[in-house]
Amino acid sequence: MIAVSVVLTMLAGALAGEPVAARAKKPNVIFISIDTLAADHTSLHGYFRDTTPFLKKLASENVMFENCISQAAYTLASHTSMFTGLYVDTHQVVWQHGEKVLGPEHKTLAERLKAAGYRTVWMATTTSPMLSLSRGLGRGFETVHDTWLEMGDGLKKVKTLLKTLPGEKPFFLFLHTYMLHDPYHPVAPYDRVFDPGFRRHIELAPDKLENLRIPRNLEEATVSRDARIRNNFMGQFNLKYKPDHDHFVALYDGGIRTADDAMKEIFATFRKIGVYNDSLIVVTSDHGETFGDYGYYFHYTPTHQETHVPLIMRIPGAKPARVSQMALGIDLLPTILDVLGIDPGAGPKLEGRSLLPALQGKTIPRDEYVFSHGLDHMDAVWDSQWKLVHGHPEIQDIRLYDVKADALERHDLSARNPGVVAKLKSVLDARACTTTPGTRRPSSKSSRARTSCSKTASRRRPIRWRRTTRCSPASTSTRTK
């Protein structure tokens, strides 16, 4: 972490006007997480559909990080990384560890800002185990509003609550939406906006999806409500048939446009209540989404598609900029503290880095290896050239990409570079066993309980993951929203 005095010097060059950290009243901090927002599906990042006109405009007026990678391909672990500045296998709040709670030695962003005099406000669901208040994410929040941000009543409720935020003390707001998450459910007209020619009716309403199809066997009858809804949603598509596949993607894209329009209204409210100009604002996502390119759908493993997310930051006084250097989810906490001039203090070392040097064209210092995580320890490690990523549990392969030449990770070079595979695999295995004793990397198709995976598995011959380290077994379980 960069010392406050250095930050002020740096900001003097990067920012116009009075440095943020020197202001009498600290700026509000607004952290918006648009769950499951794949950067590659946003017009902000050049996607062929105009899914994000508002975010594109917002980015043009602020700072955009073009290459932001989330630290996990699923909600719980990724948000915990963003809130702590730590890799997943350091904070260990992972889905497959059941009720493991964030250790008290790791301070969350809300705890740190509360200690710095902020009023801390949660506006997100309180009932999702993937965004669980009880696993540590809720620590430090003084006010918890149970919100479900969707077009309609959900948006209206959030806009009303936003009006209660301005006050004597600066506030920290965490605002989250699941409106993009599967099963895709954009409301009209967003359900047709990107595929108006598709004629067949697809049921999107969760209440109707729950009972759309009668369970065929005991296994189907005993799955959770979320899993049944997701299965019935998926069951309406033949994803090997191009019109179905294309409509499936168009529904996801329609959800993005829904979220973008919702953000437009939310930011209009920020302006109306007078908090836009003087707030430090982060707009990002916890992970992306994939659509069959790797043989499965949705998000499980830390591939490019599943972890490349948008990151827009409004830093009061900062000039608009586009940053091409890699940014990580774990960088958000150190960056926010850096902007505000808050010392991270004693305690375990933060693993993220402040992104502020990038605003002066400087290189963000990185360790030799970067990590990202998937469900059931489907993890990834990369250095300045190579990325090793563990594939989906139903496929059980490992892939190697030359990320310098192949940033979109389309060409698996593992067969041609066994030495690089072995080296990176040993780095990943060693780290997992050091930070998470008891971790087992999968060596069999033990995670078949996935309810939302396509059965269109990859045709090529996968390299199997063989465990080389001695770690004792851990249990696995299905994910839920």
In a 13 Å sphere around the CA of 132, the CA atoms on its Cβ side amount to 17
* In the complex, least distance from residue 381 CB atom to Zn ion, rounded to whole angstroms: 22
Query: What is the three-state SS of the chain?
Result: CCCHHHHHHHHHHHECCCCHHHCCCCCEEEEEEECCCCHHHCHHHCCCCCCCHHHHHHHHCCEEEEEEECCECCHHHHHHHHHHCCCHHHHCCCHHHCCCCCCCCCCCHHHHHHHCCCEEEEEECCCCHHHCHHHCCCCCCCEEEECCCCCCHHHHHHHHHHCCCCCCCCEEEEEEECCCCCCCCCCCCCCCCCCCCCCCCCCCCHHHHHCCCCCCCHHHHCCCHHHHHHHHHHCCCCCCCHHHHHHHHHHHHHHHHHHHHHHHHHHHHHHHCCCCCCEEEEEECCCCCEECCCCCEECCCCCHHHHEEEEEEECCCECCEEEEEEEEHHHHHHHHHHHHCCCCCCCCCCCCCCCHHHHHCCCCCCCCCEEEECHHHCCEEECCCEEEEECCCCCCEEEEEECCCCCCCCCCCCCCCHHHHHHHHHHHHHHHHHHCCCCCCCCCCCCCCCCCCCCCCCCCCCCECCCCCCCCCCCCCCCCC
Residue nearest to Zn ion according to CB distances in the complex: 75
- Considering only residues 286, 351, 397, 429, which one is a binding residue for Zn ion as defined by CB under 5 A? 286
Least Å from the CB of residue 33 to Zn ion: 8
Q: From 142-150, 192-200, 286-294, 302-310, give the range in contact with Zn ion by CB under 5 A.
A: 286-294
Letters for 2-41 (x = contact with Zn ion by CB under 5 A, - = none) are ---------------------------------x------
Q: Is residue 306 part of the contact set for Zn ion (CB under 5 A)?
A: no
The residue (of 193 and 309) whose beta carbon lies closer to Zn ion is 309
What is the C-alpha to C-alpha distance for residues 8 and 12, in angstroms, rounded to an integer?
A: 6
Least Å distance, CB 144 to Zn ion, is 19
Scan residues 134-163 and list those touching Zn ion (CB under 5 A).
none
Footprint (CB under 5 A) of Zn ion, residues 222-251: none
**Nearer CB in complex with Zn ion: 126/325:** 126
Query: CB-wise, 75 or 279, nearer to Zn ion?
Result: 75
Strands 386-390 and 380-382, sheet pairing: antiparallel
> Is 75 among the residues that bind Zn ion (CB under 5 A)?
yes
- Only one of the segments 19-27, 248-256, 279-287, 288-296 lies at the binding site for Zn ion (rule: CB under 5 A); that segment is 279-287
Whichever of 150 and 412 has its CB closer to Zn ion, that residue is 150
The residue (of 179 and 359) whose beta carbon lies closer to Zn ion is 179
Select 20 or 73, whichever has its Cβ closest to Zn ion. Answer: 73
Please report how close the Cβ of residue 285 comes to Zn ion at its closest, in angstroms.
8
Sign of CA dihedral 443, 446, 448, 453: negative
Residue 449 beta carbon to Zn ion: minimum distance, rounded to whole angstroms:
19
Q: Minimal distance in Å, beta carbon 287 to Zn ion?
A: 5
Q: According to the binding rule CB under 5 A, does residue 307 interact with Zn ion? A: no
Nearest residue (CB) to Zn ion, 35 versus 150: 35
- Of the listed pieces 145-153, 164-172, 266-274, 283-291, which binds Zn ion according to CB under 5 A? 283-291
CA distances from 468 to 91, 428, 434, 440, 442 (A): 24, 11, 14, 10, 11
User: CB of 343: closest distance to Zn ion in angstroms?
Assistant: 31
Nearer of residues 329 and 341 to Zn ion, judged by Cβ: 329
Shortest CB 92 distance to Zn ion, Å: 18
Residue nearer to Zn ion on the CB measure, 75 or 236: 75
Report the nearest approach of Zn ion to the CB of residue 401 (Å).
23
Of the two residues 260 and 286, which places its CB atom closer to Zn ion in the complex?
286
User: Taking contact as CB under 5 A, which single stretch among the options 45-53, 71-79, 196-204, 349-357 is the one that binds Zn ion?
Assistant: 71-79
| Pick 80 or 335: Cβ nearer Zn ion | 80
Q: Which stretch binds Zn ion (CB under 5 A): 44-52, 151-159, 238-246, 280-288?
A: 280-288
Q: Which of residues 94-123 bind Zn ion (CB under 5 A)?
A: none
Q: Which residue ranges make up the site for Zn ion (CB under 5 A)?
A: 35, 75, 286
